[in-house]
Every structure is written in C-alpha cells, then in structure tokens.
Amino acid sequence: MSYIHFPVIAVMTLFMGAFLTVVFGRKSKAVRNILALAASCTAFVLICCLIKPVLIDGEIISYWMGNWSPVEGYAIGIGYEIDQLSMFFALITVFTVLMSCIYSIRYMERDSALDFYNVLFLMLSGSVLGLVLTGDVFNMFIMIEIMTFTSVGLAAFRNNKAGSVEAGFKYLVIGSIGSSMTLFGVAILYGNCHTLNMAQLSSILAGRLTPSTLMAFALMFTGLAVKSYIVPFHTPAADAYTTAPASISMVFSGMVNKAGVYGMIRLVYIIFRAMDKSSVQLLMVIFGVVTMFVGVTMALAQHDFKRLLAFHSISQIGYVITAAGLGSALGLTAGLFHAMNHTLFKGLLFLCAGAVYYAAGTTNLDKLGGLSKKMPKTCICFLIGAFSISGLPPFNGFASKWLVYQAVYEKAVTSGNIFYAFATVAAVVVSVMTLASFIKVTQAVFFGQLPASLENVQEVPALMRLPMWIMSALCVLTGVFYDQVNKWLLAPAAGAALNVSGYIDRMMGEGYAAEAGVVNIPVFAARFSFWNPVVWLLLFIIVLAAFCLAIIGSSGDRASISSAPADAEDGKYATFFSGEKSMPSHVSGSDLFWGFKKNWKGYFKVMDGIHSGRVNDYALYVVCAAALITVFVFGFVR
Amino acid sequence: MIKKAIANSMQKSPWLYHVNTGSCNGCDIELVACLTPRYDVERFGFKLAGSPRHADIVVVSGPITSQSKERLLRTLEQVPEPYCIVTLGSCPQSGNVFKGSYSVEAPIDKFCHVDVAIAGCTVKPEAVIAGLYKATEILKKKREAMNK
Amino acid sequence: MEYLKILFNILVFPGCLFVGAMGLLLSGIDRKVLARMQKRVGPPIIQPLYDFLKLLGKETIVPKAANRKVFLGAPVVGFAALVVTAALIPVLGYRAFEGSADLIVLLYLLTIPAVALIIGGSSSGNPYAGIGISREMVTMMSYELPLICIFLAVAKKVGGSTLCFSLSQIAAYQQANGSLIGCVSLIPAAAAMLLVIPAEVGTQPFDVAEAETEILEGPLIEYSGAPLAVFKLNTSMKMYIMTALFSALFLGGLATGVTALDVLIQVLLCIALTLICMTTIHAVTARLKIEHLFKFYWTVVAGLAALSLVLVWLGF
C-alpha cells in the first residue's frame, strides 16, 4: 500500500476507534483501553511513516477523496494535502494523542462513564488531525466544529465537580461564535472564488483583495483566533483547561489550540498570502504581545495549579503568534519551534498537575505543599517542565524564546519600527514573570511544608509517569540539539509556509501556480549563531566534575554532611522557627510576590473586572474584537 | 595543609548568633556596641548571623526564663559543629538580681556546656571583645580536635 | 593541546579559579572599604577567603523537611552555571569561547544562579525561606526589565540596522569607535546598569531577599557548612561577573591587545565599579522594602534604560 493513503487512514482510524468504542466498549474496560490505545498508536505510526517522504525528501502528498481530482482547473472534490507545515502539526497532534492516551489509562480509572470519555477523546483527536491534514477550507470548518463540540463535552466531563458544566457552556458559546464566523468567511470565499480548495484559493486570491475577500479574511482570522484562544478570546480556555481531566487539558493546550494556530498560519501565509503586508504583521504582533502579557499576569494571580497552567498556555500562544506574525523566515521558525516546545512542556506540566490531583486529590495551591519528598519523580518532571517554560538554558523553551527575541528584534532593527523593540522587551519581561509563577507553583506544591492532610500521599503509578518521562526527555533533547530540530523539522515547515507554489502545483497540476502569478518568498537559512548548548553543557559538566573531584579529594578535610535518619525526632534536623517547636505557617502560593502585586494593584483590579465570569461579557469581547479586526483590516490591509 | 588552613580560618571568621533569654537589654546593646566604629569587632572577622545554622558562636544573654529555656535548647541543637557558647553578663551565670524567681532557670551550665563566660552587669565592650576572642581560640581547638 | 586550552580556560582563566579569586577579592575590598567609609578598621581583605574555608570546616546539616538532593545540588548547579557564564564574558580583548553565547543568552544564564538559590531555599521547607524566595523572585523581575532595555540599546547602537547580539561584535565596535560609554545616548543606559548591578548581586539596599535582620537570611536560612560556603562564593562571583559585563558592554574601548595588560585593566575596572556601585551605595543607604524596590526599578531605572533605548533609535 502506498503511503499516500496513510494520512486519510490515520484520520479514519481515530474516528473508527471512537465508533467501535461506542459499539464494543460499553461494558469492558480492557476493550475500551485497547481500542483507544490501538487507534492512537496506529495514527502515530502512520504519521511517522510519512516523515521520510515529506520531511526528508520534501515531497508534498495530495490525496483526492474518492479520486475527485480537479476538472478544468477547478477543484471540486475534498482534497487532503500534506505539506511540511501540515506534517509538522500532524506530528505534534499524534504525539500528544498517544501520550494522553497512555496517561489516561491509569489517570481516569476512578471516573465513571469512561466509554464516553474515550469516544470524545478519539473524535477530538481525529478532528484535529483532520484539520491539520486537510487541503479544503470547508472540510477544515467541519473539523473545527467536531473539535469544538467534543471539547465542550470533555471540558464538562467531570460534571460532578464545581464549574465544569459552566466551563463547558462558556466553551460552547464562545466556540460557536468563532465557528460561525469561520463559516461565514468560508461562505464569502466560496461565493467569490467558486472553490474551497486551499491551493486554488491561494492562487486565485493572490493580489485580489476586494472588500468581500477582506471581509472573509477578517472573519476567518477572528474565527481561527477564537480557536487558538488569544486575548480577548481566551476566556473559555481558562475554565475549560481547569475543569477538564488533566489528560484532556494536555490535549487542549497541546494540540487543540495548536490547531487554531495552524489555521491562522495557513490562512495568512498560504490562503491569503498576506504576510508580506506590514499591516497584517502589526495586527498579529499586537495580538501576540497583548496575549502573552495578559496571560502571564493573570497566571500570577491564580490559586489553582491547572488554572495557572491554563493562563500560561494562553501566554505562550502569544509568543507563537508574535513570532509567526513577523512574516520572516526566522520569525516563523521561532514561532513553530515555540509551538512545538509548548506542546512538550505544557503537556508535561499538565500531566504533573494531573499526577498531583491523582495523588493528593486537589490542585488548590493554598492546600498543597512539600510533595517533593512524597512524589520525587513527579517533582523532577515538573521542574524540567517549569524550567523549560520559563526559558532557562539549556532547556527547549530557552532555545525557542531566544529565537523569538532574535526574530522580533531583527524585525525592529530592519524595519526601524521601535514598536517591535518594545515588543522584545515585553517578551523578555513576560518570560521572567513566567519563571516567577512557576517558582510559585514549585514552592506551593512541591517544596515548603507538608500539610498534615497529605502525609499519606504516594507517587503515581509507572504508567502515568511514562509519558511524563518521555516528554521531559524531549524537553531536554530538543533544547540541546535545537540545530537538528531546526534542520529536520522547522526549516522544512517554515519553508512550506513561505513557498506556496509547490503546494499549489502539487494539488492543481504542474505550472498552475506560475500561471496565477505566485512568487515564492526566498527562504534564507535562519540565523542560529551564538548559542551553542552543546558547548555550554560540556563546560558545565567539566566544572561540575571538577567540583565533585574537589569534594571527593577534600573529604578528609571537610566536616561531614549529616542528614536526618528517616524517623528521627532529633531537634537538630528540625526546621528553624526562631526557636519555636512548630509554626504552622507554610508559605503558600498566594502569599508570594507581594511586592509585585502591591505595585500592580490597579492593573489586577481592572483584570478582575474584565474576567467577570459572565458568558455575556465574554461573548461581547469576541464580537467587539471581531469588529475591531474588521475595521483594522478594511482600514489598513491593502 | 587544607586542614590547617580551615582550622586557622575557624579562628578568623567567627559568626555570632545572639539569643536573648529574658535579658534586660543592657548586655544586648553592649554587644551591638562592639560592632560600632569605636570597637569594630569586624576587624577580627566577627559578624552577626541571622540563623543558628550559620553560627559559630552562640551568645546567650539574660537569666534563662522558663519560657525561653526550651527555645534556647532547641536553637542550640540546630547549630552545626564545631561551635562555642558564650554567656553575656552575670544573668546566665547566676541569675543575678533575678535569682530565686520562680520563672528563672539560671545558671545556664545546668543544661548546657558553656565555653566562655563574660561577667559584668552590664558587660563592658572591652570584656566582650576579650571574651569573644577567647572563644575563637577555643573554636580553633575544637576544629583541630575534629581532625584527629 | 586544543582540549588542554579549553580545560585551562574553563578551570583556570577566565573560569573557575580566576572568577573565584576575583569574587573573593572584590567582596574583601568591598567589606574593607565599606568599613573605612564608616570609620572602622574593617576585616582584612582576605576575610571572604577565611569565611569560605571556615564554612567548609563546619558540619552540614540537611533538615528533615528538606529534599536532600535538591538542597545539596542547588548551590553546586548555581556555582557551575556562574563559572561557565563568567568564562563566556570577554575579559576586554581576551575572548575564550567566542560564538557560543550572545547577550540574550547571557541574560538568561545570569538567571540560573538566582533560580538555584530560589530552588535551594524553597526545598529547605522553611517558611522564612519561602518569604525570601518570594522577594528574590520579585527582585529578579525588577531588574530584568531595565537589563533587557540596556542590552537592546547597546545592540542597536552597535548593530545599526542589522541584528547584533554578539559580544565579540560589541567588543570589536568599541575597539574601533571608542568605548560605548562615550556615546551620549548610552549614558543613561550605563547609569541604569550601575544600578542593576547591586540588585543582581544582592547588596544593600537591594538585599531584601536575604535580609538577615528580618527574615534571617531568607533562602539561606537552613544552609550550613559547605553548601552555604558555595552560596556565599556564588554571591561574590556575581560581583565579578556583573562588573565584568559592565566593562564588556560600556568600557570595551580600553582593551590594549596585550592579554596580561588587559587582565590587569579588567581587574582594576572591576574594583573601581564595585566601589562605585556597591560599596558607596551600601554605605549611604538603608535597606528598601520589596515593593519600593520593585517600584524603583520599574520607574527610575527602567525609565533611564528606556530613555537610552529611545535615544539610540532616534540616532543619537
């Protein structure tokens, strides 16, 4: 069987898995798990088989459903088209699905109605995979719809918990507004161009920005922005990520909002090819900077582990949008890299949050503490994830953030626009605040004092730890060997987005693009100078080794290191409380960063007012933002 | 050689941790007076430390009230080896004017070993400096004893 | 031979030994001069070495509430990260590891020791340490904003309309066109940098995180013996690293091309900068409150740095 069938089979497998679970999985737990695992593994393997032809050989796969290939230059059938950009996001998707699937086997064992869980989960996975692989805008819309409605079901899955139905409802309302905008945009495009195929749209729309296509652009931009939860569309995400089971939160932040990001990149880079316009760049960068800033400041104010992570998801998507919105090869590379890293480290962090919930029964930062002694392995995974997201060298978050700064500042100096310089400053400050809020989690959950109620907490089962270890390892590896990642994954993906003619030709026939006047933007190799993690790591290890040698060599001269025997009541090893025997004063998450919060009181008050929790307000934000985007597009995009 | 250097440094850099066990504050301000430009004990490397974990010399002032006794003992337990205990003024030695009170536990040597006792009510800064210097010599000896 | 040179660079000069010695020297001078400013005799200049050795000779207690591995590992990671960072900063003309890190990387490498301190303190399980790490983190948030503005201003000045975060390029530019401190537009940035140094190192009045009189040395409260010694050494080494960074950014024009002379000039510069921005400020101020510190950095210092950034963009 030729590999050109693989993409569609991968999508079908996931949907079939969902279907079979309904039929056979109602009674037996084993059947359910096997079906889910088999479906996700198959999808993973099938997509991985495409790495060689697509990423390495640079081939673009096109597949016409039912062999309805174009007639007289018009695409009438639904086509799947897998270029390197789709492939990149497809890899992210299937990886996330597999990890989540493995994790959920043990994590979800205490919940009921698991057949529904698996059905929704597999349909969500299938829809996201379909979304990134499809070459047809209406098909993309349908996948978005499936994605939205399964997400609603999953966000409200633990409906015995406070807030989950509310979260589902918010998601439903905001998501529907977004979907209908997308649909409206698609309809306008169809009316204008008489085709729904992305490749053909791309060649027709080149240089044809009439008022109606601009309207379609504004609407689809807004619709996809809602799906990627950038501010001000972020409100349902915060609730949904919090109330959904951790294995689903991980999927939400790992691939569902990546699907939105993918859609935006596909829209602006390929369908409209509008990224060379400085107005579109400005639009995306403004949205990106506002998103990263609002996301991280809101995260600093949170008291719940998962809600904090949810706001960080929003904030990190801001980085992706900012970088991708620069329109340069470096910027797109940085954006894609950060999107990938975000999937890795945020997925890891959500899994850690799930592990804490599984073990301790709560994710409230004010009730946890001192878990590092009870759950040492989870703690290590969490620290790796936290360091990655806060961008400490040599983890992957640093490599991608560093590229983002470079890309933004390069834009600043080459365009001479000081706005981009301040965008760089904002990005760095957001990164420090990210670090701050993860220090808060570290202190509030894993270090500090252990509350008496958590004395019996145990480490989570190995099957839950497995995906966590895999993702931790990838966080380190992609950070250290980012050159290789760039070479094999990012450069092809960014190149695919910037060079559209190959994409159009493959779908519509050789020479079609040239006829329509599509010009490729030359992709120069992204600059990767001046950060050599391998050298740094080597030097670091040399110093560490020298230090350890010195310690061993001087062991006769030093005094001993004495640590407490396991059950000693010796006062020597007790915590120092100014002489008191005990002081029940665990410094919990909400006590931290007082000096910062005091100075930002006014800002937090405003933010509190904005995040009112009322769906009406949130829907209003979406509509207002859509109106603003439309005005901006009509006013400035030429 | 390193051993010798460490033992020497032990004498040159003693960090003080000050415990007030119900003192009238007279001795305490005399101790602080030693840090002022007039006496400047920092020239011997003395420094006030914030935590008993950092301390080399624990300076105890006051007549050890019943309330403060267990807190004093708990603090002393947490000081890493080697360390010295120096008492400041007459109170820890004898209870001074508080002697006989139902709430005073002095003398201190009933429940811990004292290395240097500085007498006076209040102590003179000169005496404090002399006493602390004596304690640094004891510290060095303790460190050398640990080597053997 | 190549490997030997790398080993020499990382372990002797400008790595481990040199940074350690410089750190101890600078903090010794700092203490001595501070004492003289207060009309005291002050400790001998090698006092920090005595402190270091003494702490090595003390017992190390790992508290029961602490996570042993993290508690003991944190200072070492901070130390190694600092040494590597120091090796990456050019000593005027002498550049040991060219092309392995740029300005932004340095900005992040400098956060590793602070994070090590925070994680170590946090892992000790003491509530005072909890308050301490909170303050340390707020301090970090405070100075990071001016610091990035300074870096961007320097990068724009040197690079013009190309992206330039490279330390070697900055050094080369200064050797050709004179030190950057001579540019009108960068004088506010240099002033801001001088104010960032004490906060980064954590000297009074910006030592809120380790305030020994109110929160008992914060993150360090449970540390004793050798790990404490390493943390104290880290603080001293930061003095060298920050002053060296200042001279690399703003005084690079003083390089002579002769390595020995360069090193001598660098040492003198570091001492002078320590005296200007740490000792003097320490002697004349009292400790700030954390919220005032944050406000000070985000208004005054960040204002200076942003002014510089704008001036550079306007072409001054």
pLDDT digits (tens, 9 = 90+) for A162-189: 888 888 888 899 989 999 999 999 999 8
Q: Give the residue on B whose Cα is nearest the Cα of A577.
A: B75
Share of chain C above pLDDT 90, in %: 1
Between CA C184 and CA C189 the distance in angstroms is 10
pLDDT of amino acid A587: 64
Residues in C closer than 8 angstroms to B42, CB to CB, are 31, 35, 40-43
The widest CA-to-CA distance across chain A, in whole angstroms, is 88
Instruction: Answer yes or no: is pLDDT of B132 > 70.
Output: yes
For residue A557, is pLDDT > 60? no
Q: Which residues of C touch B43 (CB under 8 A)?
A: 35, 40-44
- The rounded mean pLDDT for chain A is 83
Subunit contact C104:A406, Cβ cutoff 8 A: yes
Q: What is the pLDDT of residue A558?
A: 58
> What integer pLDDT is reported at residue A561 of this predicted model?
64
Q: Which two tokens stand for residue A117?
A: 């869980």
Give which of C199, B125, C56, C49 is closest to A595, Cα–Cα: C199
pLDDT for the residue A521: 62
CB C252 within 8 A of CB C175: yes
Q: What is the pLDDT of residue C109?
A: 86
Q: A375: pLDDT confidence band, cut at 50, 70 and 90?
A: confident
pLDDT digits (tens, 9 = 90+) for C185-216: 888 888 898 888 888 888 878 887 777 777 77
pLDDT of A567 reads 56
Angstrom distance (rounded) from CA A139 to CA A183: 11
Q: How far is CA A2 from CA A14, A45, A54, C225, in A?
A: 20, 14, 14, 67
Separation CA C54–CA A535 (nearest Å): 34
Q: Determine the pLDDT at residue A562.
A: 62
Candidates A438, A233, A223, A406; CA nearest to A318 is A233
Residue C185: half-sphere exposure toward Cβ, Cα within 13 Å: 19
Pick the residue with more confidence: C176 or A622?
A: A622
Mean pLDDT of A41-63: 85
Query: What distance in Å separates the CA atoms of residue C115 and residue A435, rounded to the nearest whole number?
Result: 9
Which burial class, exposed, middle or buried, applies to C199 when counting CB atoms under 10 A from its CB (0-12, 13-18, 19+)? Answer: buried
Amino acid C137: pLDDT: 87
pLDDT tens-digit profile of C287-299?
Answer: 888 888 888 898 9
Provide the chain C residues 31-90 that lie in CB contact (below 8 A) with chain B: 31, 35, 38-44, 47, 49-54, 56-61
Q: What is the mean pLDDT of residues A334-355?
A: 90
- pLDDT score, position A565: 58
Partner residue facing B51 (CB), from A556, A576, A580: A576
In this predicted structure, the answer to whether residue B130 has a pLDDT above a threshold of 60 is yes
Range(s) of the domain holding residue C276:
2-314
Mean of pLDDT values over A277-284:
85
Quick check: C20 pLDDT over 60?
yes
Q: For chain B, what are the domain ranges?
A: 2-147
Q: How many helices and strands (H and E) does chain A possess?
A: 26, 3
Q: Which helix (H) or strand (E) holds C302?
A: helix C302-314
Helix, strand, or coil here: B76? helix
* C134 CA: distance to closest CA in chain A (Å): 5
For chains A and C, count residue pairs whose Cβ atoms are closer than 8 Å: 257
The Cα A213–Cα A233 span in angstroms is 23
Nearest neighbour of A593 by CB, restricted to C123, C134, C166: C134
Bond before B14 cis per omega within 30 degrees: no
Give the model's pLDDT for residue A78.
85
Q: Does A524 have pLDDT greater than 80?
A: no
CA–chain centroid gap for A483, Å, is: 21
Structure token digits, residue A405 = 């700064």
pLDDT at A526 over 60: no
pLDDT digits 0-9 by tens, A62-87? 888 887 877 777 778 888 888 888 88
Q: What's the CA gap between A179 and C30, in Å, rounded? A: 64
Which of the 8 DSSP states describes residue C294?
A: H
Question: What does the pLDDT read at residue A517?
Answer: 63
Q: Do A425 and C149 meet the contact criterion of CB atoms below 8 Å apart? A: yes
Kindly indicate the confidence band of residue A525, based on its pLDDT and cuts at 50, 70 and 90: low
Q: What is the mean pLDDT of residues A554-583?
A: 65
* Single-letter amino acid, residue C287: R
Residue with tokens 């998507």: A317
- Mean of pLDDT values over B25-44: 86
Three-class SS state of B61 = strand
Mean pLDDT (whole number) for A570-592: 69
Distance, CA of C96 to CA of C16 (rounded, Å): 13
Q: Which of these ranges, A139-153, A439-453, C235-249, C302-316, has the smallest mean pLDDT?
A: A439-453
Assigned token pair, A158: 């633990």
Q: Which of B14, B43, B143 sits opposite C41 (nearest CB)?
A: B43
Is the pLDDT reported for residue A230 higher than 70? yes
pTM score, whole prediction: 0.89
Residue appearing with tokens 């519509």: A508
What is the pLDDT, as a whole number, of residue A184?
A: 92
pLDDT at residue A560, rounded to an integer: 63
Bridge partner residues of B86 (DSSP): B59, B116
pLDDT band at residue A584, thresholds of 50, 70 and 90?
Answer: low
Contact between A536 and A393 (Cβ < 8 Å): yes
CB A360 within 8 A of CB A368: yes
Q: List all chains that touch chain C, counting a touch as 3 or more CB pairs closer than 8 Å.
A: A, B
CA dist A398 and C8 (Å) reads 28
Model ipTM over 0.85: yes
CA separation, residue C235 to residues A637, C35, C42, C73, C239 (Å)? 53, 19, 20, 17, 7
Q: Does C216 touch chain B (CB under 8 A)?
A: yes
H runs (alpha helix) in C160-186: 167-177
Q: Is the pLDDT of residue C116 over 80?
A: yes
Q: Domain B2-147, what fold? A: Rossmann fold (3.40.50)
CA distance A398 to B106: 60
Average pLDDT over residues A251-269: 88
Residue showing tokens 């001000």: A232
Q: Does A488 touch chain C (CB under 8 A)?
A: no
Residue A220 CB coordination number (10 Å):
28
Count of alpha carbons within 13 angstroms of residue C264, beta-carbon side: 6
Confidence of residue A547 (pLDDT cuts 50, 70, 90): confident
From chain B, pick out residues whose CB is under 8 angstroms from the CB of C213.
Answer: 50
- Mean pLDDT, rounded, for C144-163: 85
Task: Report whether pLDDT(A564) > 60.
Answer: no
Residue C156 has phi, psi (to 5 degrees) of -65, -40
Phi, psi for residue B18 in degrees, rounded to 5: -105, 125
Which residues of B fall within a CB distance of 8 Å from A556?
3
Compute the radius of gyration of chain A from its Cα atoms: 25
Contacts with B48 from chain C: Cβ below 8 Å: 212
Q: How high does pLDDT run on average in chain C?
A: 83
- How far off is chain A from B98, nearest CA to CA, in Å? 23
Helices H, strands E: what count in chain B? 5, 5
Instruction: Describe the strand order of the beta sheet including B15-20 as a list of residue ranges.
Output: B47-48, B15-20, B57-61, B84-88, B116-118
Q: Are A317 and A230 in contact (CB under 8 A)?
A: yes
pLDDT, tens only, A103-161: 888 888 787 778 888 888 899 999 999 999 888 888 889 999 999 989 998 888 888 88
Helix, strand, or coil (residue C126): coil
Residue A627 confidence (pLDDT): 92
C123 contact residues in A (CB cutoff 8 A): 372, 447
C-alpha span between A417 and A241 (Å, rounded): 37
Average pLDDT over residues C8-36: 83
Total domain count for chain C?
1
Most B CBs within 10 Å, among A555, A561, A569, A572, to test the B interface: A572
Nearest to A198 by CA among A638, A635, A518: A518
Chain centre to alpha carbon of residue C146: 15
What percentage of chain A exceeds 70 in pLDDT?
92
Task: Give the C-alpha separation, A167 to C203, whole Å.
Answer: 48
Structure confidence by residue, pLDDT tens digits, A314-336: 999 999 999 988 888 888 888 99
Q: How far is A378 from chain C (nearest CA, A)?
A: 13
CB atoms within 10 A of CB A188: 19
What A535-538 contacts at long range (C-beta under 8 Å, 24+ apart), as own/partner pairs, is A535/C97, A535/C100, A536/A393, A536/A394, A536/C84, A536/C100, A536/C101, A536/C109, A537/A394, A537/A480
